[in-house]
Amino acid sequence: MKKSRTYIDKMHLWGSVWSVTALCALFMVPVVFSLYYNAFPQLNILLKAVVKIIPIYWGTAIIEVITYTPMLGAGGTYLSFVTGNITNLKLPCALSALDRSGYRAQSEEGEVISTIAIASSAITTTVIIAVGVLAFGPSITKITAPGSLLAPAFEYVIPALFGALGASYFTKHWKISIFPILAGVLVYIFVPSLAVGTMIFVTIVASVGGAFVMWKLKLIK
C-alpha cells in the first residue's frame, strides 16, 4: 500500500524543486548574455574572483538557513529564499502573522500561516514595486536626491520597520530581551561591519542563553 505524502513532505518536495529552478534561472541570465554576445569570461579569472567572494558569503548563508528556518517554518523558508529580501520584508511579515495568530512556526497551523504571510508579502511587494516604478519613475531621483526634503526618511525605513516590530516583543518579554540587545550593541561597537545575518544569529544565541540563565535563576517562568 502506497503511503500518502504529508503536508510537510510535499512542502519539502516542491520547495526543493522550486529552489533548484530558481537557481537555474539565476545562472541562466549570465549564460544567455554570454551566448548572445559571444563573450565568455576566462575561467582562471572567474575562479580567482569567485575564490575571493565566496568566503564573504558562505558563513552568512549557512547561518541564515539555521537562523531563519525555526522562525519561518519549512514552507516559509523555501518561499523566502526563492523570493528574497528575507530580513527586510519576509521575516517581519511572518513573525507579525504568527504573533497575532498565537501559533508557533513549527506547528502545522504556524507552517500554513507563515507561508501565507510570506506569499502575501511577495505578491504585495511585486505589485507595489510595479506601481511605484510606473508612478514615481520619472521623479524618484528628485525625491531621493541628497537635497530633497524626503531624502532623510529613506535612510531610516529599515530601522523604523524593525523598531516597530521589535517594540512589541520587547514590551511583552522585556526580561529576555536584555541579553540580545546588549549582545547586539557590544558586537557592533567592536565589529561594526558585521553582516546582518550573522548579527541575527548572535542575538538569537544570546537570547536563548540569557533566557536559560534567567530560568535557572528563577527570574522567569
pTM: 0.65
Q: Is the pLDDT of residue 147 over 60?
A: yes
Residue 197: per-residue pLDDT: 66
Give the chain's length. Answer: 221
Residue 21: per-residue pLDDT: 93
pLDDT in tens, 124-135: 988 988 888 888
pLDDT in tens, 193-204: 877 667 777 888
Using CA atoms, how far apart are residues 221 and 219, in angstroms rounded to an integer?
Answer: 7
Residue 32: per-residue pLDDT: 92
Residue 10: per-residue pLDDT: 85
Using CA atoms, how far apart are residues 113 and 72, in angstroms rounded to an integer?
Answer: 10
Using CA atoms, how far apart are residues 1 and 194, in angstroms rounded to an integer?
Answer: 53
Please give the mean pLDDT across all residues of the chain: 82
Residue for grid cell 530601522: 159
> Mean pLDDT over residues 23-38, rounded?
90
Instruction: Extract the C-alpha cell encoding 116.
Output: 501565507
Q: Is the pLDDT of residue 146 over 60?
A: yes
Q: Is the pLDDT of residue 1 over 70?
A: no
Distance of CA 173 to the CA centre of its chain: 23
Using CA atoms, how far apart are residues 28 and 160, in angstroms rounded to an integer?
Answer: 36
User: Residue 3: which pLDDT band, with cuts at 50, 70 and 90?
Assistant: very low
Using CA atoms, how far apart are residues 117 and 132, in angstroms rounded to an integer?
Answer: 22
User: Residue 28: which pLDDT band, with cuts at 50, 70 and 90?
Assistant: very high
Q: Is the pLDDT of residue 4 over 60?
A: no
- Show the CA angle centred on residue 112, arms to residues 106 and 115, nearest 5°: 95
Residue 118: per-residue pLDDT: 92
Given a contact cutoff of 8 angstroms between Cβ atoms, the answer to whether 81 and 20 are in contact is no
